[in-house]
Amino acid sequence: MKKIYNYIFAGIIGASALFLVACNNNAFLSVDHTSVLSDTYMFQSETTIEAGLTGIYDTFYPTKSNLDEGDTYEWGFKPQFMLANHPTLDTQASGWDAAYCSEQWTSTSGEFLSVWEGHYRAISRCNAFLAGLEKMDVSLFAKGDAGKQQLEAEARAIRAWNYFNLVKNFGRVPMLETGETYLNTPSKPRPATDAESWALINSDLNFAAGVLDWTPRLGQYGRITKGFCLGYEAEALMFQGKYADAKTMLNTIITSNTYSLVPCYSQLYDMDKAWTKEDIWCVVMYSDNGSNSTTNGWNPTEDNYMCAAYNVASMEYGGWGSLFISWECYKSFEAGDKRRQASMVALGETNPWTKQTLGTHDNYKTVKIGSEHMPNVSSTKYWRIVCDYTIVNAPLTEHFLRYANILLDYAECCFQTNTDNAAAWNAIGQVRNRAWGNLEVDNNLAAANPTYPIPMNTTSVTVPDAQTYYSTLYASKAYTSVNVGVFACNWERRHENNAEFNLFYDLKRTGMITEFLNKEYPANTGTAGSYDDWRTYRTFTVDPNKFLYPIPNAELVSNSAITAADQNPGY
Amino acid sequence: MALLLFGVCFVSAQQNLSVSGVVSDASDGSPMIGVSVIVKGTTTATITDANGKYSMNAPQGSTLIFSYIGMEKTTVAVKSNVINVTLKSDSKVLDEVVAIGYGSIKKSDVSGSVASVDREQMMKRNPLNLAQGLQGAAAGVMVSKQSGDPEGATTIRIRGVATVNGSADPLYVVDGVQVGTDANFINPSDVESIEVLKDASATAIYGARGANGVILITTKKGQKGFTKINVTANFGVQNMTGKLSMANADQFASAVRQGRANDGTSITNQAFSTAYNGKLHNIDWQDAMTHSALQQNYTLSASGGTENSQSSFSLGYLNNEGVVIESNFKRLTAHATVMQKVKKFLEMGGSLSFVHSEKNGSGNLKNYATLTPTMDYVDGSGNLVSHDYLDRTSTGNYYAFQQVTGEGDIQKGQDNPYAAAKQADHTPTHKNTILGSAYMEVKLFKGLSFKTNASYKFTASDSTGFNTVNTRSITAITTPNYFSLKQTQQNDLGIENYFTYNWKNDVNNLTLMVGNSVTNSWGHWVSASASNFLSDTYRSIDLTSTQSTRLGSGGYDLQSRYISYYGRAMYSLLDRYILTGTIRRDGSSNFGEGNRWGVFPSTAFAWRASEEEFIKNMNVFSNLKLRMGWGITGNSGLLTNYTVAQLSSNRIAYYMGTLGGTSAAANNTELTGVASLKEIDTNLKWESNEQTNIGLDMGFFNNSLNITMDYFVRDAKDVLLYRSIRPSTGHSSIFTNAGHIRNSGLELSVNYTKQVGDWTLGVTATGSTLKNKVIDIGSPIYTNLDASGNTVADAGDQWDTHSVTQNGYAVGSYYGYVVEGIWKNQAEIDAANAAASKASGGTVTKYQAFGGNVKPGDYKYKDTDGNGYITGADQKVLGNGFPALNYGLTLTAKYKNFDAMIYMYGVSGMQINSYAAMKESQLYKTSGGIQNITTDYLSNAWSSTNPNGTSSLLTINDYNYNRQQSSAWVKNGDYLKIANIQLGYTFSQNLIKKLLLDNARIYVSVENVATLTGYKYGDPEVGNSSVLQTGFDGGRYPYPRTFTAGVQFNF
């Protein structure tokens, strides 16, 4: 009997063993990856390649999360305005940010890596997109090759924009091109010359400008346009000293009549506004959908939200101390220039939007505040809501390229080439005319906005003639690094673009930054550690090496084609 | 009561005698139950009853054989009717059977490095969980507590760390079921035996899962005989240890004044001015946040059965209050086993375990110690507002810190942590685990058997939280109440089938085993939350007053599947030459097709030299065995999607607007996009561990003294890790195979037992050395992240690259600047700046680029690269968290009915990367405000009046980054812990038999008796689950000292 059982068991077990060995092991080991898409998804159809393009546009938004387990990006606002403004001292910061106001940053400072990685994230998406797009048959596109080229143009323009920002900050940077990935290009050197850097930027923008229209594709504002391409290519040419070419492009934009100044300067920064006639390129943060006003607010479920108010609000009212306006800048406005009231609030003044008065509380009654002695002046370009932790994220617009910039760039090109100086002063005059409120009168805004926090002008005012004013100011300050016209452009930018994204770059590009710091923020002037002396007490000596930021240390240690010897001087 | 399972006498009454007697233990005289008594040469047999008594008929002149596992076999000639026998402990433990995975063998036949854990000693330490019980159990097994929290998280490393981003935790196998890297769901009292497989020749049979060592656990099974009940009950009181000596309110205020003065700033809280010296109300937050806590631990077990049917059942309950207020851990365990011999050739059985646990609260002593030691402030009218954190006199209300809108001397929004703990929602995190397994074993033919073992493990955990509106903090007061729910489920299914064949004669002994294993793990998670509820009593998401705040998420976990085929051959010649070979082929779903399968071989040879005549003739060794082994095991790393080329739409979106529109999302077109979020290495493959082991087992004095030594070299190759890549990829890392890590070390275990009269003395000592070295890993890996991707040091503290893994150094070495002293005066600083300018050709103007202006009293960082000034390149490896020597010592003594044990352990040559020391020494606080410092630092801080101070000056702004990772914060971490002292008493049989008990013992013990160390910043036992943070001390939940009284009895 036992033998029978044994044979039965042996048979069953043997059959089972055979079954196990015979079953499809590889099929069993192939598990579903239910939280990712196949890498081929993007290139299946026009719809899916559009999704890939959207993935590129997504890089304009901030990302404040550990999105992909190890790659953390915190950018989109703070690092950008810090790098574009703090070294000028027109904006200042307390705490660790203060290093950016004293040239104390290092190659290991996290902000550089954030900016570097963020821009390359976009470039990497562009390169992968373009490589796949190249292989897609034109028959997949409703408009054939034209449709395919439009997608290519938008992607190349975005790539150029990101490279341009990198070059402005870091000088020569590795130029990864279409199809280059880590796997096929584990290391990449810096170009040998600046010209090599500019070549790809110019090429991309040139191509895109030739393909795209003045108005965005599908009428969707948020897409790259011809104006974007020409505007940024002109600026890139200015960085290369090619002012005549830049002037031509800028004039093309002006004469296209696509853009115009928003009549009220203050309204550019109103919450919940998007895509004005003045915006050539901006990034719009959208309304809080409510789900972010809880404890989750600091890590929103989507990326198109911005808690900028916490960065810029007065510390007296809950701000983080990331953005103070210097008293020097505050005091540099001319009488009648409404831009100061629209963009900053100082001790004793009341924020027109939040109705909060600076200097109400103990410890904030002096012209300097906090242990770092920051000026008691705050920007109101982004602080137009109360920081009360109920509305963490605010709908605001980051204006990267406005028509006002185009006018000032055009004016500069005229002055740099010493041609059409009258047109140049006229362009500056247009910006100043809006600043004094005369466009509010022309457009009868007072009637349309009776309760606007800053009253609209109802009668025209006389704007001081730009040429006269700046000639006098230039002479009195005895600037020598630039001519009076370029000086005027930069001074106007100081007021027009304060706390935006270009002042430091314009000042260093035009060669005026050292003189600006020495004249407007003279070293060892003022009273160290004083709460009552409004002057910025600068102790550092301006170091020309600091006009380029350092290549992030993380790139140096992980890119074998770049060594410490390739680092920018001074780091 | 007589207990007879066998025994029929076949001899005639005329020839037989009726024999009876008592069998007792020679060591303590206690009666022995279940001793087998056989008439030699016959089948006549019986066993002793609960009182050690037996009776049987035996032919006069015949011989009785008394035998019991672990005791020397004794024979007595039958000459009278009463034969009392005492059995001695069998020192020849070499005949003990040990589990080796898919089988068991005599300990003497073990050829690999296998350590058996002394269960009895383990249980005497009353461990909260299995991992704690393994502390000091075996050489080469380093067990470090991660914190003193009531759940008792512990880190186990067997022969070091051979991975970077993966887990270094060993594999647990419970009753033949691979349960992963956590077996703390097993109640230690349910454990029958534990074996630790250390070298690759032993672990290779577990192939892909055995790279970090294997811990085999056999749980208690039913025993044949009448049902036996075993009860244990422990009751303990716990107190905090290791309190830090921090500045009191007046000292703190003085430090703030000095720090402000050094920085050229002024105090913002006027209560810190000299006018209030001696008037401030001091708050000792370490005392406030801790209390004495109770611990209760009960177990009840029953087992019994017949020859063909045996079963067991146990229940356990642990209630462990934490020494930090509002923290506790409760655990209910149940375990049942059954075995049925259906036929002589067929056995079936199974086991079922259930564990329910609840955990509440947490804590970190460092955080309490560094909090401002007073809540006093001066109000707008100039009055000193002074109070305690709690109104102790009347209402019991909680006071709050002064709420300031900007950062100053008091952190903006600083909360009262005592109030926060007391008013928090105390819903615990629940976890339920069920492990069921069933087996069938068939003896097919002579020597050939087949066993199949199927298991299913189900784990479900849930956590809920309700945050009420916090009115104590201005930063939180407008945050609405918030309710969240989260649930996870995990399922693990496994089937093992293997054949075993044994053939032996007097010369040869051959055992062959082949088998197959299949596992599948899957799970899912769900979470939901909402805020703004009308009432704090609501616990329903749907009832939020703001429906738009409802958030829900969840999804499937990535499945993990394995298929394995394995085989093992063990051959013993003349019982002295033993050869073992194993091979295992593993397939894992972690990798892409083409890289899924790995083959892992091993071989070992053992020579029992003591069986050779020439050794025997030396009369020195009672045991001498040489072992040599080599093998390769595999590691499939973290469960990850990063093996397949992929795109994602996770938060990839863009809004398209209209000219002149608004930014209301609803008015715009939201486009969903796709993008690659990670660089992917689609050629990901197995990480392999090659290990060579040479071991020597020696026994002396009839094995009263046993010494085991092992030397090993463990090479991990193709290590799976997140390798830093150029950020110009848009990514920071790629998960890939890269690198080669080596661990090598020497292990020594000594055991000595001596019986002198009524005394039995025992000493067990273990010691191990370990050298961990990265041979080749490509670019250095710098990190401030733990295994879960969380930042361990606060952003702004300049510790972002404090852990480095680079060639030539240990995994997760400490990295930073070298402090070579303190700047004594401004002239010294000026001279250094001038020299730096000269050395750099004018490209730098300062000796150090970072931070603000250096001042006298700041740390002076060493120019390690010799270029004349300080840059990031001057950072270097400062040490690592692997001690030179890891040791344990257990002393036992037994005198009549008393027993005593002392257990101690420690490390030598240990360096701690002490973030805690920095936090407890610097006034600078990244989150704002000012943190408290130790009295030691206060007295040693440099100042113009203390120019010989060895610590940096007091500063709040810390322009020099004195706080940053540097050699100043790498501290000697050597320690010796007297971990446990226990005294027990076993009641005499005369007393307990009146209570119908078989055995009864009471004991008292003290856990965490004392720590001898020079480390002053918390407990030096700094276990860390992240391999890249080995030796990192970020502060922790304080370790309690526990006074326990307990009773054990059975009947």
Minimum Cα–Cα distance from A541: chain B residue: B845
Specify the 3-state DSSP secondary structure of B715. Answer: strand
pLDDT one-digit tens code per residue, B456-513: 999 999 999 999 988 888 877 777 899 999 999 999 999 999 999 999 998 999 999 9
Q: Dihedral, CA atoms, A351, A355, A357, A360, nearest 10 degrees?
A: -160
Give the residue among B114, B93, B2, B112 at the shortest CA–CA distance from B47.
Answer: B2
Beta strands per DSSP E along A231-343: 279-284, 324-325
Hey, is B539 helix, strand or coil? coil
> What residues contact residue A269 under an 8 Å CB cut-off, 6+ apart?
A342, A343, A380, A381, A382, A384, A396, A397
Which residues 168-207 on chain A approach chain B with CB closer than 8 angstroms? 173-174, 176, 181-183, 186-188
pLDDT in tens, B206-227: 877 788 889 999 998 888 778 8
Answer whether A55 sits within 8 Å of B265, measured CB to CB: no
Q: Which amino acid is at A520?
A: E
Asked if B519 and B178 touch (Cβ cutoff 8 Å), the reply is yes
pLDDT for the residue A7: 67
pLDDT for residue B785: 81
Task: Quick: pLDDT tens for B370-389.
Answer: 999 999 999 888 899 998 99
What integer is the mean pLDDT of B23-48? 80
User: Does the pLDDT value for residue B742 go beyond 90?
Assistant: yes
pLDDT, residue B5, reads: 31
The candidate with the shortest Cα–Cα distance to B631, out of B174, B113, B106, is B113
Q: Are A96 and B796 contacting, i.e. CB atoms less than 8 angstroms apart?
A: yes
Tell me which chain A residues have a C-beta less than 8 angstroms from the C-beta of B499.
13
- What residue ranges in B505-620 does DSSP mark as E strands? 508-531, 551-556, 560-573, 577-588, 597-608
Kindly give, in sequence order, each residue whose CB lies less than 8 Å from that of residue A503, ignoring residues fewer than 6 positions away.
A84, A85, A88, A90, A493, A494, A497
| Residue among A6, A121, A273 minimizing CB distance to B444 | A6
pLDDT of residue A296 exceeding 50: no
Instruction: Please name the amino acid found at residue A284.
Output: V
Contact B764, B889 (CB under 8 A): yes
Yes or no, beta carbons of B664 and A125 under 8 Å apart = no
Long-range CB pairs of B1017-1020, under 8 A, 24+ apart, other chains included:
B1017/B244, B1017/B366, B1017/B914, B1017/B916, B1017/B917, B1017/B920, B1017/B934, B1017/B971, B1018/B242, B1018/B244, B1018/B365, B1018/B366, B1018/B916, B1019/B148, B1019/B241, B1019/B242, B1020/B907, B1020/B910, B1020/B912, B1020/B973, B1020/B974, B1020/B975
Interface of A with B in 11-40 (CB under 8 A): 13, 16-17, 20-21, 25-26, 28-39
Q: Which two tokens stand for residue B378?
A: 């001066």
Whether A108 sits inside 8 A of B733 (CB atoms) is: no
Residues 6+ apart with CB under 8 A from B285: B368, B369, B371, B373, B417, B418
Contact A58 B652 (CB under 8 A): yes
Task: Please name the residue ranges forming H helices in A295-336.
Answer: 308-312, 327-330
B524 versus B213: the higher-pLDDT residue is B524
Partner-chain residue, chosen from B671, B678, B728, that has the shortest CB–CB distance to A559 = B728
Cα–Cα distance, B763 to A533 (Å, whole number): 75
Decide the pairing of beta strands B53-59 and B63-67. unpaired
Task: List pLDDT tens digits, range B89-109.
Answer: 664 444 577 888 888 888 777
| A448/B contact by beta carbon, under 8 A | no
DSSP structure class, residue B873: G
Within B588-693, residue ranges assigned H as helices are 613-616
Q: What mean pLDDT do residues A477-483 have?
A: 98
Report the distance separating Cα B15 and Cα A571, nearest Å: 105
Which DSSP letter does residue B428 get? P
Given this model, what pLDDT does residue A18 score?
Answer: 53
Determine how β-strand B859-861 pairs with β-strand B819-822.
Answer: antiparallel
Residues in B touching A304 (Cβ below 8 Å): 653-655, 665
Contact indicator for B416, B400 with CB cutoff of 8 Å = yes
Kindly state the helix (H) or strand (E) to which residue B846 belongs, with its residue range. none
Residue A360 touches partner B, C-beta closer than 8 Å: no
Q: Cβ contact (<8 Å) for A564 and B660?
A: no
User: For position B3, what pLDDT does the model report?
Assistant: 31
Give the Å distances, CA to CA, from A13 to A465, A567, B569. 100, 68, 21
Alpha helices, H only, A77-176: 78-85, 110-135, 144-170
Contact B653/A58, CB-based, under 8 Å?
A: yes
Q: In the predicted model, is pLDDT for residue A107 greater than 90?
A: no
Using the structure block, give the residue that is written with the tokens 């028509």.
Answer: A403
Say what the pLDDT of residue A291 is: 43
Q: What is the tens place of the pLDDT at every residue in B615-664? A: 999 999 999 999 999 999 888 877 888 888 899 998 899 999 999 998 88
Count other C-beta atoms under 10 Å from residue A31's C-beta: 17
At residue A427, does pLDDT exceed 90?
yes
The answer to whether residue B441 scores a pLDDT higher than 80 is yes
DSSP A255-278: HTT-----S-GGGGG-TTB---TT
Distance, in Å, from the CA atom of B264 to the CA atom of B259, rounded to the nearest integer, reads 9
Q: Is B556 on the interface with A (CB under 8 A)?
A: yes
Cα(A442)–Cα(B482) distance, rounded to whole angstroms?
A: 50
- Please, are residues B496 and B179 in contact by the beta-carbon 8 Å criterion? no
Q: How far is A103 from chain B (nearest CA, A)?
A: 9
Q: Say yes or no: B872 contacts chain A, CB-CB below 8 A.
A: yes
Please enumerate in sequence order all residues whose Cβ is within 8 A of that of A472, keeping only pairs 6 or more positions apart, or say none: none
What is the pLDDT at residue A297? 44
In one-letter notation, the amino acid at residue A263 is P
What pLDDT, on the 0 to 100 scale, is given for residue B864?
95
Chain A residues near residue B650 by CB distance under 8 angstroms: 35, 67
Residue A15 has pLDDT above 70, yes or no: no
B467: which chain A residues are within 8 Å (Cβ-Cβ)? 295
Q: Residue A555 is nearest to which of B549, B587, B726, comparing CB atoms?
A: B726
CA A320/CA B927 separation, integer angstroms: 11
Residue with the larger pLDDT of the pair A496 and B177: A496
The answer, yes or no, to whether residue B28 has pLDDT greater than 70, is no
Q: What is the mean pLDDT of chain A?
A: 90
Q: Is A390 on the interface with B (CB under 8 A)?
A: yes
Min distance A13 CA to chain B CA atoms (Å): 8
B320-371 pLDDT, tens digit per residue, is 999 999 999 999 999 999 999 999 899 999 999 999 999 999 999 999 999 9
CA distances from B26 to A190, B31, B758 (A): 83, 9, 10
Q: Taken in order A430, A433, A434, A439, is the CA torsion positive or negative? A: negative
In this structure, the strands spanning B859-861 and B687-700 are: unpaired
| Total-model pTM | 0.81
**pLDDT confidence band for B915 (50 / 70 / 90):** very high
Phi-psi region of B615 (alpha: psi -120 to 50; beta: other; left: phi over 0): alpha
**Closest among B549, B548, B553 to B528, alpha carbons compared:** B553
> pLDDT (tens digit, 9 = 90+) per residue, B412-434?
889 999 999 998 888 899 999 99
- The whole-number average pLDDT for the span B855-870 is 94
Contacts of A188 in chain B (CB under 8 A): 726, 728
Residues 69-98 of A with CB under 8 A from B: 69-72, 94-96, 98
CB contact under 8 A, A371 and B801: no
Cβ-Cβ contacts under 8 Å for A55 (sequence gap 6 or more):
A42, A125, A129, B647, B652, B673, B674, B675
ipTM of this complex prediction, to 2 decimal places? 0.94
